[in-house]
Structure 1
Amino acid sequence: MGRFAYLMEGNLTRNGIKGGKLTLLNRVCQSFQRLLTTAVREIDIAGQTLKIHALGEVYDSLTGRAFTGSWIWDSALLLSRWLATSQFDLRDKSVIELGAGAGLPGLTAALLGASRVLLTDIAPLLPGLVKNVEANELEDRVEVRELVWGSEESLSRIGELRRFDVVLLSDVFFDLEEMAALGRTLKKVSGNKTRILAASEVRFWTGECLNELVSQGFKVVEVPIQEDGSDGGRDIFAVYNIIPPDEEDCHNNMSGSIIRR
């Protein structure tokens, strides 16, 4: 629906129709989005059920395009399942999810025993995250905060800034121009023993995004997985252990190989 709104806006602009009619179109598209794209999914994780609201009505008011973070991506499902089935111990850990979107991996961490989980994303996506926290009655352990990658001011707003035990990322290796800011943020929230775990669909540009992190001193190791996360499709998915600079010897004995894609 966001794509429909964007195309319609473009057509009207090219035809010289602006102002009030374009504003009216935006309102119509917004209403149509709310009717069609709000959904609730129940996802089984480690014998428990998470309720996730996918809110397609969260859109960019300038372009009319829906924010893709409103949806549940296969990478988020893959990371959540990996956390639930691997030997990785989340009990009593502090966890932050960057670019959380609908918050599935972070909520999974809370189910698996994390003592504190912080879900972060841009401001328009925060109400959806709050709704998902409340729907799963995890307010005692899960917080929601705005965090813009690379922004010192934004980092200062996430409360008591400290190093987290675990950083979670899913499907964030998309825009090469955002990787420098992501790297700076990762360095701010990571400490000596922090584990940074990222799941991603492997696309043509994924390697370039990871190489940008490598250029900042991170080491990227692909973690063996039992499933590809594609639900039978032909897409390729991967889970990565991203080791902060100068901390290669503290990666919790995870086996894997440096990314070559």
Structure 2
Amino acid sequence: MATFFDRINSEIHKFIEVRDAEEEVCELYSVYYSTNSKDRLNLVSQTKSELEIDIHSGTKPLNITIDQNPNINGELGQTGAVLWNSSVVMSNFFAHCTKEAWDLTNSNIIELGAGCGLVGITMHNLGAKRVVLTDQPRMMKLLARNTECNRVATKPRLLSKKKLGKDSSTIDNALLTAEYVWGYPPEDPRILAEPIDIVIASDCVYHEDVAMLLSSTLEDMCQSREDVPVVALVGQELRSDLVHQAFVKDLLDRNFNLYRIPVDPEIDRCHALYMMWLKETHKPTAA
């Protein structure tokens, strides 16, 4: 059975390999700074307490309800209590790819810095076998509320009564929330209870110190298994060129194979989506 890595590796020719952080930032930000601020992404509102997000998947969109907490946004560096553009971009991207070739049904997924949880919830709705959404302790209440609100939408249809039996624990285990503080080993045993296939993170790079913690945590997660490469996908809205360059450089210094995925010309002017895995795990197949 083909792994998730096998599927993306077969499409490696569609992606842009990143080998130098300075060159990458120069290419991205020359376009970003030439774009009128009025033409940049404005996909969500951070002032509303509840959002209805339509993710375009096939003929029928996924409708996901997300609670926000605008009151604590920005407090002590707290940014995860509201949605950001990158979450919507990544969710729609995964919906499009799943519809075409990226089958998630056998994938165990970990989301880092899940915030309101949109991306992980979307992947759950797209049929992922197991999704664990992680964040700091302060975010757990909001994250749990959003997962419970969106949990039952598709999973009962994906699992037959015979597979479910008399116990709904299969459904409960398909979408989990867990505390995970970057820079420390995960204390919740559920995070590493099953071999990881995919790690995702959306718009978590807003300060250089945070960027270094994220790249370190991505490395830890991608080292968690040796039989197949763990693939990480990180989406980031373009803001500080210095922070972005530091993040990309640190990923390359940690020996990641790093690729940027073109999404859409309008989106790519102000957003970057990266795919990566550790070099010692596997080399890409030559085109």
| TM-score, structure 1 normalization | 0.72
Pair 1:202–1:160, CA change in 2 (3 A): closer
| CA distance, structure 1, for counterparts of residue 203 and residue 55 of structure 2 | 20
Give 3-state SS (helix, strand or coil) of 2:235's partner: strand
State the shift of 1:55 in Å. 1.6
2:201 to 169, 192, 201: 169
Contact 2:55–2:92 (CA<8 Å) still a contact in 1? no
| CA distance, structure 1, for counterparts of residue 199 and residue 210 of structure 2 | 17
**Counterpart residue identity of residue 84, structure 2:** W
Contact 1:193–1:250 (CA<8 Å) still a contact in 2? no
State the shift of 1:38 in Å. 2.0
State the shift of 1:150 in Å. 1.3
Q: Deviations over 1:142-179 (max 9, x none)?
A: 10011111112xx0324262541111111122222123
Residue 157 of structure 1: aligned partner: 188
| CA distance, structure 1, for counterparts of residue 130 and residue 124 of structure 2 | 7
Give 3-state SS (helix, strand or coil) of 2:198's partner: strand
RCO higher in 1 or 2 (8 Å CA, sep ≥ 6)? 2
Residue 14 of structure 1: aligned partner: none
Residue 209 of structure 1: aligned partner: 247
| CA distance, structure 1, for counterparts of residue 120 and residue 244 of structure 2 | 22
| CA distance, structure 2, for counterparts of residue 99 and residue 241 of structure 1 | 17
The count of residues paired between Structure 1 and Structure 2 equals 209
Q: Deviations over 1:68-120 (max 9, x none)?
A: 10111111111111101123221221001001111111011101111110000
**Counterpart residue identity of residue 164, structure 1:** I
2:210 to 178, 187, 191: 178
Pair 1:72–1:242, CA change in 2 (3 A): same
Answer yes or no: is 1:116 the counterpart of 2:154.
Answer: no
Residue 272 of structure 2: aligned partner: 238
State the shift of 1:40 in Å. 3.0
Map 1:62-101 → 2, pairs under 5 A: 64=75, 67-86=78-97, 87-101=101-115
Contact 1:57–1:66 (CA<8 Å) still a contact in 2? no
Pair 1:113–1:97, CA change in 2 (3 A): same
| CA distance, structure 2, for counterparts of residue 103 and residue 242 of structure 1 | 21
| CA distance, structure 1, for counterparts of residue 247 and residue 77 of structure 2 | 23
Contact 1:100–1:121 (CA<8 Å) still a contact in 2? yes
Q: Which has the higher strand share?
A: 1
Residue 42 of structure 1: aligned partner: 53
State the shift of 1:37 in Å. 4.7
Contact 1:58–1:124 (CA<8 Å) still a contact in 2? no
| CA distance, structure 2, for counterparts of residue 160 and residue 212 of structure 1 | 24
* Higher Rg of the two aligned structures: 1
Pair 1:169–1:160, CA change in 2 (3 A): closer
Give 3-state SS (helix, strand or coil) of 2:255's partner: coil
**Counterpart residue identity of residue 261, structure 2:** V
| TM-score, structure 2 normalization | 0.66
Contact 1:198–1:240 (CA<8 Å) still a contact in 2? yes
Q: Which moved more, 1:199-208 or 1:241-250?
A: 241-250
**Structure 1: runs of 5+ lacking an equivalent:** 1-35, 256-261
Give 3-state SS (helix, strand or coil) of 2:218's partner: helix
**Structure 2: runs of 5+ lacking an equivalent:** 1-46, 153-170
